[in-house]
Structure formats: C-alpha cells, structure tokens
Structure 1
Amino acid sequence: MLKRLRILLKRKGRLSSAIISDAPGVPSPGLYQFRFGYLRNAYRLIGYVSTRNCEYIDTREDRRVMLEEHAVTLGAALSALGEDIKLDQVHRTLEVRGTVVSLRVARSTHDGNEKHSPTWTVERGQHLPPGLIVGIRLDASNRVVRDYFLMPAAKLVDRLRFTEHGSKRYGLRWFNRIDDVARATKRRLGRDAREFECGDVGRASRGSCRRN
C-alpha cells in the first residue's frame, strides 16, 4: 500500500484524497485510513507532509458516528413527545409527519488571529431532501458538541459558513439540548406554514432556545 502511495507521490508531486481516489491501482483513501488510523499517518510513513489540513478527513468517521447517534437520540426524543418516527440509518435522517429532518455537523475553524472570530461550516452533502436541518455545532476541537440549531433545508444550497454574530442573517436559533430541538421541531411540524418562521422558535421557553 505504501509503495503505491510513494509511486503516486513521485508521479503527482503531492497527495490528496481526490488524487488517491482517481489513481488507478491505488487503494482508496478510506482503506488507508482503516489501515493506518489516519490518512496523514500514511503520508508520514512515506515522508510526505501535506500542506492541507487533514483534520477534516481524519475525523470523518467520528462525524459519521456522531450523526448516527444524534439521529437515534432525536428520534427517541420525538417519539417521547408522541411523534411517529421513520429512521433512515443509511442517510441518517428522520421522517416525521411526512417531513424529512436531516442532521448536519457544523465544524469550527479559526485563522489563529485572536482579533478574528471562529467560523463554522456546514456542508450540504450529496443527499439533502426538502425539510428541516438539525445542525450540531462543535467546539474549537471539533470533537465536542457545543450546541444545536434548526433551519430549513432550502437555505443550505451548497455550504453554509457563519460566525457567532453572522449567524443572525440566516435566522438560526440555538438550543442547548437535543430535547429542546425535539420540542422545537414538534412545534414547527404542528403548524401549517410553508416556510419555517424563526420567530416561532424564538417563542420557546427561556433557557431552551436562545439567540446568538
């Protein structure tokens, strides 16, 4: 495996997940990650230092597990509120009253300048049906859940980037617990409005919903 990676590096001059995926006869990035723990570990063993931040690739499996666990937890919370839930474990979505609730992770990045605010990024992904998105915002380590937000799927066209204060332009409302997200989702689905009104969520009890 490493020999093929060395040959690919010599031929291309650099390595990335996309380059490895497109190279004939070279194992997939996922296989390298499975064998060596992280893709950057395989890079290090052949003496290559990537100029890219490999953290996103390295933590992909962690994010997948996080989304799966939160889908189950959110489904249980909605069921406890009397909702009938259909869980899609492949796409990690929930169907409630005919509306699909998708889960996404908001990852934190910072340029190192203490005068600048952290930025969170939410990727649309290949599979995003119409409905609602429950966002899981991570802390600076991108390992620990900071809080949650709720938004219409229609607002996530490609990827969403926001800062602490910049999130207001997207009408995001923040929740400290997944149970609070479940209650807000139930309220949303209980209305006949076609578009998600952020102010409606703002009428949640103080302490369960907060605005940045």
Structure 2
Amino acid sequence: MVIDWSQKNGDTTSSDRPKVPAATYVRMSTDHQKYSTDNQIAVIHRYAENNGFEITQSYADEGKSGLRLVGRDALQSLLSDVEEGRANYRAILVYDVSRWGRFQDPDEAAEIELRCKRQGILVHYCAEQFENDGSIGSSIIKTVKRAMAGEYSRELSVKVFNGQANLIRLGYRQGGAPGFGLRRQLIDQNGNPKRELTRGEHKSIATDRVILVSGPEEEVRVVTRIYDLFNKGRNEAEIAAALNAEGILTDWGRPWSRGTVHQVLINEKYVGNNVWGRTSFKLKQTHVRNPEGEWVRADGAFTGIVPIEIFERAGEIIAARAERLSDDAMLEKLAKVLEKQGYLSGLVIDEMEDCPSSSSYSHRFGSLLRAYALVGFVPDHDYRYLEINRALRRMYPDLLAGVIQGLQSSGGAVSQDLETDLLTINREFTASVVIVRCLQTPAGSLRWKVRLDTVLKPDVTVVVRMGPGNTEPHDYYLLPLLDMHQAVLRLCEFNGLSFDAYRCDSLSRFYAMAARRSFTEMV
C-alpha cells in the first residue's frame, strides 16, 4: 500500500502553484513483477500530480542488475547530466530506495543521492512510507532500507547458487561449451530427449534441462585415440602434431595445440562426471578460484566416452611428471619459459614442451600467481589480459553464431567467409563482429580499444564491448564504414554524440537491418 502524503495536515496542492520540473528514474531487474518499469512509472506519475511536479525528463534502466553502477547507462547519464549542469529539473522522482541499487555497501546508494543533493536537486521516493526531508527519522529509515536491499540480493544469490548446485547434483549441465566429442542434449521435465542444442542455442522453457551426450562418432574416436596415444607414451605436443597432420580440427574449428590436447586429458566430463563451481563471481564482486573441496559435482551423471580407468591412468601420468620434479626444478623450468617468452600465462605454460602443466604449478604452489612471483614475473601491466584474450577467443564462435542466428530469425540471408568470418547479409552489405576487451583504470574508469579491419573494410563493424571482468557484453556499437575515419578507436564510458549515436544495448537494431518486407504491386 502507498500512503498519499500530499494530503497530510490538510495541505492540498494548489492548482495555480507553479509546478516543479522533475526527472524520473526507473530500474527493472528480474526480481519481481511489482518493480516493472510500467508499475514504477504509474506510481511516480501519481506522486508527481499530487505533489506539484512536472516531469520533464525520464531515465530508465530495463533489465539491469542493481548490484553495481557499471552497465546502468541511464543512471550514469542522469548523474552526468546533474553534475555537468545539463539537468533541466530540480527534483528526481524514484519509486523506492532499492531502485538506486541493491549495493552490498549501503554507502554506494547514499552516495548517489548525495551527488544529486550537492547540485541542489532533491530525491523523492514515491512509494516509500516516509518523506525524504533530511530528518533523523528519514535518514535512519533510508540506511536500514539500503542495507535491506543489499541483504535481499545476498539472500537471492545464495538461493540461486543452491538451486544451480542442486541441478548439478541431479546431473544437469549448467552452461559452458560441451567440448570436443560431446554435445548438449535438451530434455523435458520427464527426462525425455527433445533435440540437440547447437552452438549459441539455449533452452527457452524453464522446466527443460540440458545434459551432455556423445557427439559424432568420428569425434568420439579422436578423443579415444588421444587417450590411447597418451597412455602409450606420446605427449600432448606429439598428439597435437599428429591430429593437425591429418587435418583434424578442434570443436572451435582451430588446429590442435599442446594445451587443447591437455584439456581433453584432464576434464572429467569425458568420464561422465558433472563438475561445477571451479570459479565463482558472486554478487558480481570478484572472480575467485574456488578450492577443489568446494566444487559441486555429480560423478557418473552422463554417459562417459572414456573409461574411468583410462582417464585415471592419464591423470597419473600427468601427476607423475610433476611429482618427479622438486619445487626448485619446476621453478627452474618456469623461469626458462619466462626467459624465452618474456611473459607467463596458463596457455603459454601448457603450450611449452618439457614443462609441467599450469595446473601442476597451481596445485604445487597454491596458485599460478604465487609461482609467477617466485620466478620474478612482476610485469608493469596487468598480465591477466593474456588469459582474458584467450577466454574471449573461446567466446567468439558462440557469439558469432548467435549473431548469424539473430539475422536469420529476422528473415535475412547470411553467408559467412570461413577464413575471415566476414558476414554478407542479403547479398547487400557486409559486416564483421569484433569483441573488445574492457580495461579498467586505477581510478575505476572503463576503457576500450577498438581495431577496425582496414583490409576487409566491412560495411558495418559490430563492436561487442565487454564489461568489467570481461565475462559478459557491456553494450554494442554498430559502426558504419562511411563514418569511420580511423583504424583504431579509443572509447570510454561516454564518448559524445559522434560515437554514442551508434551505441545500443542489444543487437535488435542490427538484426532489423536484415529484415525483409513484401510489397504488393499496385495496378
């Protein structure tokens, strides 16, 4: 219930009183229908009518989490307008305290209100049962409600995690590519198979589930052969060379390497085990690598394509390679890799011949970071970009497949150059998709460096700007060739109309470019 404060103490709003210009801010996540933007706007408009406000500008973040300020373009635009003197209003109307955000630190929400107040713009919470008048009572209530908003997110995170963990224990797959030799199978709530999911596809019915099944027979034979060769004394590099010589590609359509062969040899999904939670990103705070004892697992959840004894034998060989070496010997080999390559990463280590795997270093020394420090690897810049780039390369095929599917769903005809990944849409225009890594400055600002293809010169470059952490897209830019005059673009969070006119929160505008309409000939 929302109490109408405008009628208290017999005070009524005079019809001839000048109305105060105000802006509205609404945010909708997926937490509850009562917080839908339409419902928020209805309450805010009623409040404005009853309290003498005239709405002159509106800001809306739809489908945005309130855990962080990052990614909430409307709120950042509001704060920018307020602090840079562009605001044409004297008040901001918000549904309730939680709409600023469900920050884990309540002071973050308080800071947003304070930044507005410093510019002489007051914030009104239209659905709250108190007046935001600066009194001790309202300050206490706001502090409590901010803490409650953060606690709601924490409790929800725990429930979601427990729900996902329970699905893992029941043998259902939770995200991620299936891997070479495996496929994702969609099943209904009764366990009946429906169809195989292709790359980029996801389940759309809440009660459906995904499991792993054997892939094409030729891929299964390759996996079996990898284990057979390894257990007979061939190392990962030799196996990769043999597969490449026969023209066999990985599931990402790339040549095999020592590292990709190594991943096949150590991943438990090939014996049917369902393992989840090796890393976590709870409440969108920090990525952490969890100790093995905290992993969620269900052994024998799927039908394995490698017998358990063969998998364990391969694991014993990998472990023995490191066990035969002392700590000093392992660090000596790592130092040689550093001397040769000039930098270190898990991928670099796994690709080096006659060197223990990155997992061996992580297990022996507690983490790769500690092993790096022990050999003096302290770069001036953030060396994690190597691992980030590796992850983005893995992400690219699925993202590109999703773009193609979106264009086709809109009615467009799409052809892909398998060598350059250049897309030709409806035989009319070309497009390329570029994933751009997010860089964060020491002050917390976000930066992106975009390199345009000056050789292929696509008509449209679809830039996918990754968010902080580089795990999910932040937003998209549709850059037309005609308006781009530089090969390298350096973007920040706000770039002015010259660039941000091409920014969008989703690719629906791009997909619409491929749509077709039929015309009836008029006689």
Name the CA distance, whole Å, in 1 between partners of 2:415 and 2:395: 19
The equivalent of 1:103 in structure 2 is 433
The equivalent of 2:358 in structure 1 is 36
Q: Choose the corresponding residue for 1:146, options 474, 482, 503.
A: 474
Say yes or no: does 1:45 pair with 2:371.
Answer: yes
| 1:1-212 map, 5 Å | 3=332, 5-7=334-336, 9=338, 15-16=342-343, 31=351, 35-36=357-358, 44-45=370-371, 47=374, 48-51=376-379, 52-96=381-425, 97-113=427-443, 117-124=445-452, 128-153=456-481, 155=484, 157-166=486-495, 168-170=497-499, 172-183=501-512, 185-186=513-514
Aligned partners of 1:151 and 1:172 also within 8 Å: no
Name the CA distance, whole Å, in 1 between partners of 2:453 and 2:343: 19
Name the CA distance, whole Å, in 2 between partners of 1:8 and 1:36: 12
Aligned partners of 1:74 and 1:179 also within 8 Å: no
RMSD, matched Cα: 3.8
The one-letter code of the counterpart of 1:36 is: S
The one-letter code of the counterpart of 1:181 is: F
Name the CA distance, whole Å, in 2 between partners of 1:4 and 1:88: 41
The one-letter code of the counterpart of 1:31 is: E
Write the deviation string for residues 97-129 of structure 1: whole angstroms up to 9, x where unpaired: 253211112322222225xx4222223468644
Aligned partners of 1:87 and 1:94 also within 8 Å: yes
Gaps of 5+ in 2: 1-329, 518-523
Name the CA distance, whole Å, in 2 between partners of 1:125 and 1:111: 26
Q: How far 1:142 moved relative to its partner? A: 1.5
Name the CA distance, whole Å, in 2 between partners of 1:162 and 1:170: 9
Report the TM-score when normalising by structure 2: 0.28
Name the CA distance, whole Å, in 2 between partners of 1:145 and 1:132: 19
Name the CA distance, whole Å, in 1 between partners of 2:387 and 2:477: 25
Q: How far 1:29 moved relative to its partner? A: 6.8
Write the deviation string for residues 115-155 of structure 1: whole angstroms up to 9, x where unpaired: xx422222346864432111111112221112211002462
Write the deviation string for residues 154-203 of structure 1: whole angstroms up to 9, x where unpaired: 627442211122253335422222333311x437x99xxxxxxxxxxxxx
State the SS of the aligned residue for 1:59. helix
Name the CA distance, whole Å, in 2 between partners of 1:56 and 1:159: 19
State the SS of the aligned residue for 1:143. coil
Aligned partners of 2:452 and 2:461 also within 8 Å: no
Name the CA distance, whole Å, in 1 between partners of 2:478 and 2:358: 36
Aligned length, in residue pairs: 173
Name the CA distance, whole Å, in 1 between partners of 2:349 and 2:394: 18
Report % sequence identity: 18
Name the CA distance, whole Å, in 1 between partners of 2:368 and 2:402: 35
Q: How far 1:88 moved relative to its partner? A: 3.2
The equivalent of 2:131 in structure 1 is none
Structure of higher CA gyration radius: 2
The one-letter code of the counterpart of 1:138 is: M
Aligned partners of 1:99 and 1:131 also within 8 Å: yes
State the SS of the aligned residue for 2:471. coil
Cα gap change, 1:112 to 1:42, in 2 (>3 Å): closer
Gaps of 5+ in 1: 21-26, 191-212
Cα gap change, 1:36 to 1:84, in 2 (>3 Å): same
